[in-house]
Amino acid sequence: MKLIIKVGNIKDVIKDFTERFHVKGIYSHEETGNEWTFKRDKDLKSFTNNENINWYEYRQFGVFRALKKRKNWSQKWEQHMSEKLINNPRRVNYFVDIPSHSLPASKSLNLNSDKCSHQIQGGRRQGLHRLNEFVKYKIDNYQYSLSSPLKAFNGCSRLSPYLTWGCLSMREVVQAIRKTKKRESRAIDSRLHWHCHFIQKLETEPELENREHHPHMSGIRKSNPIFLEAWSQGLTGIPFTDACMRSLNSHGWINFRMRAMFMSFASYQLWLPWQESGLCLARKFIDYEPGIHWTQCQIQSGTTAINTIRIYNPIKQGYDHDPEGIFIRTWVKELQYLPTQFIHEPWKIDLFRQNNSSFILGKNYPLPIVDQIISTKTARAKLKERRSKPGFFDIANNILEKHSSRKSRKSKLKKNQNYADVKNQLTLKL
């Protein structure tokens, strides 16, 4: 089958086809995208209606259009995933012979050139190979590989880009994992469930890409281009965060725990608006999936009001997940010769030592751009103030009702819940 590529405004492209051919229908997958793709689809819908063309959209994930309530969502998801896989058509009759555009280069789309040097190869063949390798050799140790970036690159499935770009279908991945009948498969099975659970939120409420889930949490943070740039380049002066960010810049991928950690660092310690840091990450991720991404950005920034607030301590994360500083030394070359006792906190090296070595803090590597303890305390105080406003928990309970699974809805947030209760939810990892 020949693939014809057309570049341009979708309405002009379809119009061109309707002038050349008798178009009976348009077939596509359902997309839960960004605000602009949503707007594009609405425009196209009114165009196809006017032109009397049927547009058939097919569900690609366990995400359901026009869903008002979450009741029975899990059953629907199960049903969708257990349906029979559709085989590739053996032969496709190919009638259309029109010229194809070539695949546009980033420059022609006004995009920056791609500096991501270590990204994995795309395509269906690569995706299938990765899925098979994971099922055969990696599934048993998967759960133990999730947290540390030292293990995650090899131990996580890294199927996310293939799912995002449609190289693999969610149904075929779920079925391949379940076929193993291993107890260990449960950990990844539930994550595949989360994939659709989060996308469903954006499908139901597309505004979540831009505005805070809980209105009381809106407009609390402040833009700071200098902080944002230092964070994005891996130059915050906190070695483990910087190593993770630089690794992401080279791979376009990093594990969940590290994504959560540097998003939390941007939102709490640096107090940056999640819309700005989230956009910066979206541009780096090769698996950018709007529904997961924006809901996760909000969760890690405490703006949903229904999820446990986790303010990660990036220094402690470093000691926990990279105790010898191997990951830091790989990605933050400036620190590679530091003794392990200082690798996570180079500011502890006394001046005498610095004077007698080639390493000078503030010259070879930045001093921390914020005081981790003070900035965490300030963030907590600001959250406390917002959460103690009248009506906060009533709104939070409505959000819970609309977006959560039945199980989590059973534990309703208490009305007039005071800060002592809220404080228990603050998993402050110091």
Site for ligand FAD contains 198 (CB under 6 A): yes
Site for ligand FAD contains 296 (CB under 6 A): yes
Cα 145 to Cα 258: distance, rounded to the nearest angstrom? 13
Cα 169 to Cα 175: distance, rounded to the nearest angstrom? 10
Among 70, 130, 138, 195, which residue sits at the site for ligand FAD (rule: CB under 6 A)? 195
Closer CB to ligand FAD, 195 or 221, in the complex: 195
Site for ligand FAD contains 255 (CB under 6 A): yes
CA distances to 213, 237, 353, 391 from 356, in Å: 52, 21, 5, 59
Cα 303 to Cα 223: distance, rounded to the nearest angstrom? 16
Task: Return the closest-CA partner of residue 332 out of 235, 195, 215.
Answer: 235
How many residues does the structure list for the chain?
430
Question: Taking CB under 6 A as the rule, which mask of x and - marks residues 137-166 in contact with ligand FAD?
Answer: -------------------xxxxx--xx--
Site for ligand FAD contains 292 (CB under 6 A): yes
Site for ligand FAD contains 293 (CB under 6 A): yes
Give how many residues touch ligand FAD by CB under 6 A: 27
HSE-up of residue 418 (Cα within 13 Å, Cβ side): 1
Q: How far is the CB of 100 from ligand FAD (least distance, A)?
A: 30
Site for ligand FAD contains 321 (CB under 6 A): no
258's tokens: 């590290």
Site for ligand FAD contains 194 (CB under 6 A): yes
Site for ligand FAD contains 63 (CB under 6 A): no
Closer CB to ligand FAD, 274 or 365, in the complex: 274
Cα 31 to Cα 44: distance, rounded to the nearest angstrom? 13
Give Cβ neighbours of residue 271 (< 8 Å, ≥ 6 apart): 221, 222, 224, 375, 378, 379, 382
CA distances to 21, 95, 198, 398 from 268, in Å: 56, 57, 22, 25
Helix (H, G, I), strand (E, B) or coil at 312: coil
Helix crossing, 185-204 with 290-299: angle to 10°? 90
Contact (CB, 8 A) for 307 and 299 = yes
Stretch that binds ligand FAD, among 88-96, 185-193, 228-236, 393-401 (CB under 6 A): 185-193
Amino acid 115 reads K
Q: How far is the CB of 301 from ligand FAD (least distance, A)?
A: 9
Site for ligand FAD contains 297 (CB under 6 A): yes
Closer CB to ligand FAD, 284 or 329, in the complex: 284
Stretch that binds ligand FAD, among 58-66, 241-249, 253-261, 417-425 (CB under 6 A): 253-261
Give Cβ neighbours of residue 343 (< 8 Å, ≥ 6 apart): 239, 324, 325, 328, 329, 335
281's tokens: 């990450």
Among 38, 47, 256, 359, which residue sits at the site for ligand FAD (rule: CB under 6 A)? 256
Among 260, 280, 286, 428, which residue sits at the site for ligand FAD (rule: CB under 6 A)? 260
Q: Is 381 exposed, middle or buried (0-12, 13-18, 19+ CB in 10 A)?
A: exposed
Closer CB to ligand FAD, 288 or 419, in the complex: 288
Place of tokens 């005498």: 352
Q: How far is the CB of 135 from ligand FAD (least distance, A)?
A: 12
Is 142 labelled a binding residue? yes
Closer CB to ligand FAD, 177 or 370, in the complex: 177
Site for ligand FAD contains 335 (CB under 6 A): no
Question: Taking CB under 6 A as the rule, which mask of x and - marks residues 261-290 in contact with ligand FAD?
Answer: --x---------------------x-xxx-
Site for ligand FAD contains 61 (CB under 6 A): no
> 117: how many CB neighbours lie within 10 A of its CB?
9
Stretch that binds ligand FAD, among 3-11, 292-300, 303-311, 347-355 (CB under 6 A): 292-300
Site for ligand FAD contains 227 (CB under 6 A): no
Q: How far is the CB of 226 from ligand FAD (least distance, A)?
A: 22
Residue ranges for the binding site? 142
Binding annotation for FAD: 142
Residues forming the site for ligand FAD (CB under 6 A): 156-160, 163-164, 188, 191-192, 194-195, 198, 255-256, 259-260, 263, 285, 287-289, 292-293, 296-297, 300
